[in-house]
């Protein structure tokens, strides 16, 4: 199935609110678990979260790594406003900071982070090279990199099946976005080609669920 792009930014306040109120605990906890499994030696350092949205993954990561400092970046202020509220409620404002910016951003990419994470950003990007460039520039040598994103199904019928399986009871705005995001996601071989073009062939790509892929390794 050919990829069908969707908007890169979630700027609608109602859309942002729906995402902030949704229960993404299963995939978001899985993201943190994947990081921990692949990088058991990581305990502390400065972490960059690319495309942090409303900061749900950011906060879960912060709880799992209480000695880490995290900078989350996203281009949608509507999402970040809700993320800042969540960070304050969680008592993590002293070590989690959110910034509104779009990639590429040299001020972010030249800070030398100890680890880089990203969840559900890649499928929003029509020019995915900006993500891999940001990772390449922002990571310290040997820094862990963990990116999770949706995996494009082979057919629209398969996308419809996944929608019914995983979002049957979700609000309509989330059902619509999930379906569109499945159509906008990349295939594993497409991501491997992106990594080769970005001079990041050491990063591995594998499916980790019926709808998610994981890109991981060290810079």
Domains and CATH numbers, the chain: 13-218 (3.40.50.150)
Q: Are strands 68-74 and 115-119 parallel, antiparallel or unpaired?
A: unpaired
Q: pLDDT tens for residues 74-117?
A: 999 999 999 999 999 999 999 999 999 999 998 888 889 999 99
Q: Which of 34, 50, 10 is nearest to 133 (CA)?
A: 50
Would you place residue 24 in the very low, low, confident or very high pLDDT band (cuts 50, 70, 90)?
A: confident
- Residue 10: per-residue pLDDT: 61
72 dihedral zone (left: phi>0; alpha: psi -120 to 50; beta): beta
């Amino acid at each position: 199935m050919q990829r069908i792009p969707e908007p890169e930014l979630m700027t609608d306040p109602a859309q942002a609110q729906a995402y902030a109120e949704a229960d993404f605990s299963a995939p978001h906890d899985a993201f943190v678990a994947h990081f921990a499994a692949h990088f058991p030696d990581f305990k502390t350092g400065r972490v960059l979260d690319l495309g942090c949205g409303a900061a749900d993954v950011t906060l879960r990561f912060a709880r799992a790594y209480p000695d880490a400092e995290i900078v989350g970046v996203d281009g949608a202020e509507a999402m970040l406003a809700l993320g800042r509220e969540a960070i304050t409620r969680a008592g993590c404002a002293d070590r989690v900071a959110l910034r509104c910016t779009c990639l590429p951003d040299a001020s972010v990419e030249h800070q030398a982070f100890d680890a880089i994470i990203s969840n559900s950003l890649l499928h929003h990007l029509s020019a995915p090279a900006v993500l891999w460039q940001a990772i390449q520039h922002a990571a310290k040598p040997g820094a862990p990199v963990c990116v999770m994103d949706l995996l494009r199904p082979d057919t629209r019928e398969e996308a419809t099946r996944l929608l019914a399986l995983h979002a049957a009871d979700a609000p309509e705005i989330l059902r619509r976005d999930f379906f569109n995001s499945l159509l906008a996601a990349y295939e594993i071989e497409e991501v491997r080609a992106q990594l080769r073009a970005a001079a990041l062939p050491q990063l591995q790509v594998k499916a980790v669920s019926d709808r998610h892929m994981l890109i991981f390794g060290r810079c």
